Amino acid sequence: MNRFAKQVVFGGIYLLIIGGIAWFFYRAFVPAPTCSDGVQNGREEGVDCGGVACGVLCPSPVKALENIEPLIIKTGAGGYDVLAHLENPNGAYGASRVDYELVVRDAAGGVLASRRGFTYVNPAQPRYLLFPFQSLPATPAKAELSFVPADVEWGALTIDGAGVVQFAVRGEQFSPASGSVQYTANVLNRSRFDFNEVDVTVLLYDRAGVVVGANTTIIRTLIAGEERAISVAWPFAVPSAVRAQAIVTTNVFANDNFIRAYGSQERFQSY
C-alpha cells in the first residue's frame, strides 16, 4: 500500500472516531425527540403531532367559523328581520359552501319559522345573512343559525387570487327621514376583474353601536374600475338609527363570478 492510500485509510478512521465521539456527546446531552417536548422534531408533522411519529393527527390549519348569535329586528311593517352573522378568522382559507338552517323560536322554545340554504364566507371577511319575515304566529324571542362544521367546504385562495377583490364605498348619504330611511352610496370596483354579482349589506346603528336595521341589495355585472350607485330604503321609520355602513362582498369561490376584463374566466381558489 502506497503512502497516499495509507493517508486516506488513516484519515477515514480518524473521521469515524471523531464522528463517533461527537455523536456520543450529542446523544448524551441532547434529548431524543418526543411527542411532548413542545418542538416539531423527529418525524413529527407538526408540534408534537403526526400519525407516524406520535399516533395523533395534527390539527387542521383552518380555524372554525365564528357563528355570532342572530339579531331579531322589529320592522315597521309588523314583521321581523333576522340578521345572521358569520366571521372567518382565516386569512387564506374561505368557506366555499356552508349549508345552514335558521330557526326562529318563541319565548317557550317553540319553532315559529325556519329557513334552509347555503352561502359562502370569504377569507378574513364577515358574512351577513338577512332573513325577512312578514308575519309570524307569535313574537320571536330567539333565532339560531346552525351548520355542521365538519361539512363546511373550505378552499384556499391562490396567490394570484389573493388580495385582488377590493371594493371602495364612496359618497355615502344617510337620510333617516321621519317616515322612512334612505341610504345611497357609490361602490367602486378597485380590482382588474369583472364581477358578475356583488353583494351589498347595509347596516344601521344606534348611538351605542348596536345594529337596529339591515337591508341588502345586489350589483349585477360590476366591471373592473367601474363605479356604480346603490340605493337602499326602509319604508318605515328607524328612529334610533344614527349611522349606516355598507359591507360589500362577492363570492370568490364561484369561478363564473370572476371574469378577466380581457381574457377568459379566472380561477381564484384551490381545494
Q: Is residue 134 part of a domain?
A: yes
Domain contains 237: yes
Any domain includes 162: no
C-alpha closest to that of 196 among 176, 178, 219: 219
**Both 251 and 182 in a single domain?**
yes
pTM above 0.85, yes or no: no
Residues 247 and 190 in one domain: yes
Indicate the number of domains in the chain: 3
Residues 128 and 183 in one domain: no
Using pLDDT thresholds of 50, 70 and 90, give the confidence band for residue 187: very high
Model confidence pLDDT, tens digit, residues 217-230:
999 999 999 999 99
What is the per-residue pLDDT across 5-24, written as a single tens digit (0 to 9) for each?
666 555 667 777 777 776 66
Question: Which domain range does residue 181 map to?
Answer: 167-270
